A and B are shown apart, each in its own frame.
Chain A
Amino acid sequence: MTVEAQTLTPEAIPAPKKSPTAAALTRMLRFTGMRLITLLFTVVTSIYLTILIANMGGYVDNIRRGDIREAMSIRIMADPVLRALPPDVRAARLEELIRLEEERLGLNQPFMVRSFRYLANALTLNLGRSQNMTSDSGSRQVRLIILERLPATLMLFGLANIFLFFASLFLGLFLSRRYGSFLDKVIIALSPTSSAPGWFYGIFLIVIFAAGFRILPFGGMVGTPVPETTVAYILSLLQHMVLPVAAILVSTIFLTAYNWRTFFLIYSSEDYVEMAKAKGLRSRDVERRYVLRPTLPTIITTFTLLLIGLWTGAPIFETVFNWPGLGQTIFRAVGLYDTPVIVGSTVIFAYLLAVSVFLLDFVYALVDPRVKVGGS
């Protein structure tokens, strides 16, 4: 279950005795540094794999060659001087043009060489030019198309994830306190509903609240016409975010709260918790210091896995809610068969996953006493 727990031990080497805070800081830095290096390696490999899959069997190259041939033929046909040439000269000229263009785009090199150049390009976010899609500012740069969409995705999923984390945490703690109560049983009974993904509940929520009661919008990010004042804009944005955030919550909160409640219950039966209770500490303090502290690393690890699942589902989730983010860009790119945009978006998704994992690792380092204090 715990990805980090296992990789943790070798990194957490006891540092020489300095002042305790400095030692803790070094250890944390070393831990995050090690994780950063591992993750960097992971990201490079996963992006390289993405490129390999995208170009397996040279399909993408063939598409590009076809495009080049067509473009060059059109160019020759459009040029009155070239059109006037005899057919065999013209054909030779066409082949020459195609060869030059392929050379310019690097298609004449063997795939292994090209794949590493693609990798370097992808790592530096040099994602090439799209075939059909343009950014809102009219650019064909895949990087611009994606960067334009990224804030919308980050905002929606960031907000939903923060909501989800704290809501599940409080619900889990509450349930562990009222273990066996009616609400506890209801949540346990509802936990299988988390087998359906967010977009699925999204459809139901849209049917009920947008189509049925007509109190919330069907989708999109802001109302039309776009509100002019900032306050009205934010209000409209929030209104449009209610259903997507609710869909993510409904699809995950029951199972997460149930799992976390179980963790809390396991740790609540530890002797030191009994001891703290016997000492007469307030239950809130017991919960915070003796139950939450040891469970937080595990909870953050499960949350990392949950987050990865949510990120990966973004293409369909955003399509259902017509949310103009990265996921919808992938969906539109599929419709338009825009190879560079599909590959570029996938690369960005790999980055997003890695960054999420890294951020949560950092939080993990903050809360896990083993990292701070050292020892195994």
Chain B
Amino acid sequence: MKSLQRSFKELLRYPSGVASLAIILALLIVSAYTLIAIPYGDAIVLWRGGENIWYQSPKNAPPAWTNFFTSKKLVETMIFNTDDEDINKTYEVSEAGNQTVTFEFPIDYQFDTFPQELTLFTKGTFVEKAPFISIVLVTPDGREIRITDFAVQKTGTYRFSQDDRLARRVGSQFPHEAIFAQPGSDPLVPLKGEYVMKLSLVTFEADSDVDAELVVYGQVYGIAGTDHLRRDLKVALLWGIPVALAFGLLAALGTTITTMSISAIGTWYGGWVGELIQHITQINLVLPLLPILIMVGTFYDRSIWTILGVTILFSIFGGGILTYRAVFMQVKESPYIEAARAYGAGSGRIIFQYLVPRIIPMLIPQLVTLIPTFVFLEASLAVLGLGDPVLPTWGKVIQDAQSNGALYQGLYYWVLEPAVLLMLTGLAFAMLGFSLDRVFNPRLRGI
């Protein structure tokens, strides 16, 4: 325990060690938060959900913070709902027994571009006669633009951009842009200020009412942006952390421990056992791991646990065996092993109590350095389209981006966000491994 503490203290003397520990700690905290905030089941539902879950977010929108770096402020997504507390409905009963309901959505428009789209989702409550809605937009300079009026069915969707009559009225092919533009500008220039969307409806039955939701789809969204299916990339980026950490750690741990045990057994017994292990290692060296994983993913099962198992299976007889062997060969000849043999210790006892502990200092840096390899392997498979079918991971985000031509379209955030996270994770463990190597193997420190 003391020596462990001392090693840790020594590790903190390396700046790269401190930096990598900080990054890993941050990743662990965020993944713990993710697992609590978006439980496994929710994450899968969210990531596989279609328009009914993500209807409120824009398509292919970069993250909102990109606005800090540009002089042109892109439209942020705004959502107005009659259920919100600050939106008040006023009810008036007319002489004919009909009821007039009015409410307003205040749109504070301070952007230099136009929204992707405007959509009004309506939900009518009535028995026979549908209520009738009219929508008017009051611009900051006092103009009143009549948008449309229609009878509200049980559920309805009104898309501003697809209304031909509105397009003719505002004299532009893009009515959702023209209503926010300075009158007479060509090309359209946005008019900043406070807009008010006035909705008034007439109901013909006693309990009849309308719930409305206006979504102004921005050109930027949230802290991570969205993809081609309107999904918030935040879900996948967050969930990618625990998946990557778990896969990397488990694979590295499984591989290192089995490899080391086999190497120890092979070296201790020598003879045909050693030969056999050497031959298997040589054969394994020529086996193409990635194509084989591709085969397994295509023919059997692409769940992350299967892939993990197969990866460990094929890495057991990896190059590590030979490295450990060289060390075990030296240790095997040590006097204390001879002493153990002299007092009659069994082979199992010697291997696991005397040989293996000696190699631990060498093992820990190796293990940590191996983690990024497996993190990237999982991402590689996902980029090839063989990722876990349900879990959102970084590799799957990159694959979506690649197959939708994100780089050609200039949607760099889509590729760069998962890539930067991968890089951060990989670098943190690689740097930690390097620092640990120097702490545990002081021989290297001179060079």
Contacts and interface: CB of A to CB of B under 8 A. Distances in A.
Interface string B284-299: 0111111110111111
Nearest to A204: B419
Interface in A184-205: 189, 191-197, 199-200, 203-204
Nearest to B379: A200
B291 A315 contact: yes
B434 interface: yes
A191 to B, nearest CB: 7
Contacts of B326: 1
B283 A262 contact: no
B322 A192 contact: no
B402 A346 contact: no
Contacts of A330: 291, 294
B431 interface: yes
B447 A50 contact: no
Nearest to A319: B384
B426 interface: yes
A307 to B, nearest CB: 11
A46 B433 CA distance: 32
A266 interface: yes
A43 B286 contact: yes
A225 interface: no
A39 B419 CA distance: 38
Contact of B376 (A54, A197, A206, A357): A197
Interface stretch (B203-211, B355-363, B410-418): B410-418
Contacts of B416: 207
B299 A196 contact: no
Nearest to A57: B300
B422 A42 contact: no
A320 B383 contact: yes
Contacts of A57: 300
B380 A353 contact: no
Given A200-B376, A211-B407, A311-B288, A53 B296 contact: yes
A335 B385 contact: yes
A313 B380 contact: yes
A3 B322 contact: yes
Interface in B417-437: 419, 422-423, 426-427, 429-431, 433-434
Contacts of B298: 334, 337, 342
A265 interface: yes
Contacts of B283: 42, 45-46, 49
A337 B302 CA distance: 14
Contact of A207 (B282, B372, B412): B412
B367 to A, nearest CB: 13
Given A197-B376, A203-B419, A334 B288 contact: no
Interface residues of A, number: 66
B285 A308 contact: yes
Contacts, number: 157
Contact of B322 (A1, A53, A345): A1
B304 interface: no
A283 B341 CA distance: 51
A211 B410 contact: yes
Interface string A339-361: 10011011001101110010000
Given A46-B283, A330-B291, A316 B384 contact: yes
B278 interface: yes
Contacts of A191: 434
A316 B380 contact: yes
A195 B433 CA distance: 11
A132 interface: no
A330 B295 CA distance: 9
A59 interface: yes
B407 A210 contact: yes
Contacts of A3: 281-282, 285, 319, 322
Nearest to B381: A316
B335 to A, nearest CB: 25
Given A193-B427, A203-B415, A218-B407, A342 B300 contact: no
B272 interface: no
Interface centre among A46, A192, A262 (most CB of B within 10 A): A192
Contact of A350 (B288, B297, B325): B288
A195 B430 contact: yes
A259 to B, nearest CB: 11
A109 interface: no
Interface in A42-74: 42-43, 45-46, 49-50, 53-54, 56-57, 59-60
B380 A199 contact: yes
Contacts of B430: 192-195
A200 B298 CA distance: 23
A43 B430 CA distance: 33
A274 B383 CA distance: 52
A289 to B, nearest CB: 22
A276 to B, nearest CB: 21
A134 interface: no
A376 interface: no
Given A42-B283, A195-B369, A337-B298, A315 B323 contact: no
11 contacts: A3-B319, A6-B322, A50-B292, A192-B427, A192-B430, A196-B372, A203-B419, A204-B419, A305-B319, A315-B290, A334-B297
Interface of B: 16, 278, 281-283, 285-292, 294-300, 319, 322-323, 325-326, 369, 372-373, 376, 379-380, 383-386, 398, 402, 407-408, 410, 412, 415-416, 419, 422-423, 426-427, 429-431, 433-434, 444, 447
Given A3-B322, A7-B278, A342-B294, 6 more contacts: A192-B427, A195-B372, A195-B373, A343-B295, A350-B288, A353-B288
What 8 A-B pairs are tightest by C-beta distance, nearest first?
A192-B430, A195-B372, A349-B288, A195-B430, A346-B291, A195-B426, A312-B290, A353-B286
